Amino acid sequence: MYSKDELLTKAAGIKPWLVEIRRDLHRHPELGMEEYRTRDKIIEYLTEMGIPFERDIAHTGVVGFIEGGIEGKTIALRADIDALPITEMNEVDYKSQNVGKMHACGHDAHTTVLLGAAKLLNDNKENLKGNVKLFFQPAEETVGGAKPMIEAGVMENPKVEAVFGLHIAPDIPVGEIGVKYDQMNAASNSLSITIKGDSAHGATPHNGTDAILIAAKVISALQTIVSRNVDPRDSAVISIGVIQGGTAANIIADTVTLTGTVRTLHPDVRSYVLKRIEEVVSHTTQAMGGTFTLTIKDGYNVLINDNSMVDIVKQSAIELIGEENVHQLQLPSLGVEDFAFFAEAAPSAFYRLGGRNEERGIVHGLHTNQFDIDEDCLPLGAALQALTVYKYLNEKK
């Protein structure tokens, strides 16, 4: 096992390599389930390091395997590899070359950090008490690659006892991290509501049933679920993002379609809110003489960290960067993260790695066309993931 100073020195020594990887990936972003070049580059780096792997898991996923020199447990590190449909506006020499696609959520950095951790661990694998699986996961931003990877068996043979992952945080300065106990990210569901009325001339609305008016009442009524049905001490969000309906200014619309999203932080609240949505849509629509169809689809589950795993990350970070640079986050995010499925399958911890640098103007948020990172976070992330592995495998009973 490396000492703290040895680990930081070795991580700093591979920074140029990490920067080269990250910038190459950043120049060539690919959307979910289309990460063919990214997959091939990951395979190229694993091959150079002599790390065996399985490819094309859950379509474009890759799983590397580092076998330690001492028999022990198996844990996994996870990175997502897909990009977003955003046109990059940064004028940098590593600007996206794929028009309309951009690594605006830092998955290029996540992939790089995992490759860096793999190198640090693999170079010292004879002192590793156990094994490490490297999960390079597709499609976090779209259909979600975590669940199909699990269904493909990545948590078995050998059985994975714990999973650790991280996400770049543009609101945390580089050199610092954020950890969160219990709930980290919300669960999501998508809504599609089609409201049917009867068309009529706009001058004689009494001859029809106004689907737009019904839709307005439905949207207003849905908000009462959060304000009047959910315990104020819990969290829920219902957002309607798209309204489509009507054909002309003087025609009463006979069809309106609403689409939106639901976010919750507790499984019981999730079930209750979805039940109330169906009741509210049904009763409101019928009371106004219309009919409806409602489709609710599951998205990602709530990401709940295992507190003992968070303790390991926290202690590793304190050793590397000092307690003053380790922030305990108080509030969960209502954003979603499909690492949640790994966290359901095994005790896990997901944390935030600072990438902000105000002096260099690196301040823009995730999913924006000017997002960037301070690349000093890359060796730190690699070292922290590696030390977390050592602590779990060598110290945890």
Predicted pLDDT of residue 3? 85
DSSP codes, 129-187:
EEEEEEEEE--TTTT-SHHHHHHTTTTTTTTEEEEEEEEEEEEEETT-EEE--SEEE-E
Predicted pLDDT of residue 395? 79
Which positions of the chain have pLDDT values less than 50?
none
Predicted pLDDT of residue 4? 87
Q: Which CATH architecture has domain 187-298?
A: 2-Layer Sandwich (3.30)
Predicted pLDDT of residue 77? 99
* Residue length of the chain: 397
Q: What is the CATH number of domain 4-185+302-395?
A: 3.40.630.10
What are the boundaries of each domain within the chain?
A: 4-185+302-395, 187-298
- In this predicted model, what pLDDT tens digit does every residue of 248-285 receive, in sequence order? 999 999 999 999 999 999 999 999 999 999 999 999 99
Predicted pLDDT of residue 396? 67
Structural contact between residues 257 and 206, judged by C-beta atoms closer than 8 angstroms: no
Predicted pLDDT of residue 397? 61
187 CB-contact burial (10 Å; exposed 0-12 / middle 13-18 / buried 19+) = buried
